[in-house]
Amino acid sequence: MSEILKSIVLGIIQGLSEFLPVSSSGHLELAKEFLGTHFVGGESLTMTVVLHIATALSTVFVFRKEIMDLLKGVFTKGWNDDKSFALKIVISMIPAGLIGVFLESQLEQLFEGKVLFVAFMLVITGVLLLISDFAKDKNRNVDYKDSFIIGIAQAIALIPGISRSGSTISTAVLLGIKKERAAFFSFLMVVPLIFGKMFKDILDGAYVNSSISSMSLIFGFLAAFITGVFACTWMIKLVKNSKLRYFAYYCFAVSALVFALLLF
């Protein structure tokens, strides 16, 4: 399989799994291993970041009306709900931002084909989803304290195999926040974080010496963006009516399959 085709497959996996609580980064690491890609360390993280940028843009596309309304509210005079919501997004970014600044090199080491580690983290994701599935919906809105706690969950989800959407939505649900609101906050809170990471890497010259071809990155990006638009739209509808436990079962099944393939 050519490098471009592998990148497209990785993009499709990223686009589909980013919005489902099953760990897109974990699935990418598993796919890289079983597709036989040779991206390691910084290269692996570069591909992962590019694909995450694509799904961040797909989030912006799907929520373009809500984001435009939010921005209009932010730039109007006086304090309002839109400014409050934007501040909560900023607060939620703090934990992951600190991890990215001070522990980036340690984080890169987790993106080096540690497949068994990813499988174990998927088990943890599944357990978290099961626990949150039994939480009662108190129909609360996200407050400032909630946003920071959800941000801590997002920071933990930088570990491949821990679902970002799964951990943030589950944490919000455990805090009593309505699932639909939890999903909306979860999808939007990662967008500025990903763009911030991208600009930081560009300024640091992180992509200059990457041996990954530009065409591979472009095709992977397009595949992730297109599938991300469909997956995000579908997930918005799905999260209103479905149970998180089904995604937990999926995480357990994928983890068991990986353990079986590598240990037996």
Distance CA 243, CA 61 (A): 26
Q: How many CA atoms lie within 13 A of 72 on its CB side?
A: 6
Q: Residue 43 and residue 225: Cα distance in Å, rounded?
A: 20
Structure confidence at residue 40 (pLDDT):
46
Rounded CA-CA distance 200/90 in Å is: 17
Number of domains within the chain: 1
Rounded to the nearest 10 degrees, how much is the dihedral formed by the CA atoms of 177, 179, 184, 187?
100
Encoded tokens for 210: 């990457």
Hey, is 140 helix, strand or coil? strand
Q: For residue 222, what pLDDT is reported?
A: 94
**How far, in Å, CA of 262 to CA of 260, rounded?**
6
Range of the domain at 36: 3-263
CA distance 203 to 205: 5
Q: CA-CA distances (angstroms) from residue 234 to 15, 118, 142, 182? A: 12, 26, 23, 16
> What is the H or E stretch that residue 12 is in?
helix 3-17
Instruction: Tell me how far apart the alpha carbons of residues 135 and 253 are, in angstroms, rounded to a whole number.
Output: 23
pLDDT number for residue 127: 93
| DSSP secondary structure code for residue 141 in this structure | P
- What pLDDT was estimated at residue 199? 73
Task: Identify the pLDDT of residue 41.
Answer: 46
Q: With H, G, I as helix, E, B as strand and everything else as coil, classify residue 143.
A: coil
Where are the alpha helices (H) located in 136-241, listed in sequence order?
A: 144-156, 164-174, 179-189, 191-204, 214-241
Residue-by-residue pLDDT tens, the chain, 264 positions: 577 887 888 888 888 887 888 887 777 777 767 766 655 445 556 677 788 789 889 989 998 998 999 899 998 888 899 999 999 999 999 998 888 777 766 666 665 657 788 888 899 999 998 888 877 767 788 999 999 999 999 998 888 888 888 899 889 989 988 878 888 898 888 888 777 767 766 666 655 555 667 788 889 899 999 999 998 888 777 766 667 788 899 999 999 998 888 777
Predicted local distance difference test score (pLDDT) of residue 171: 92
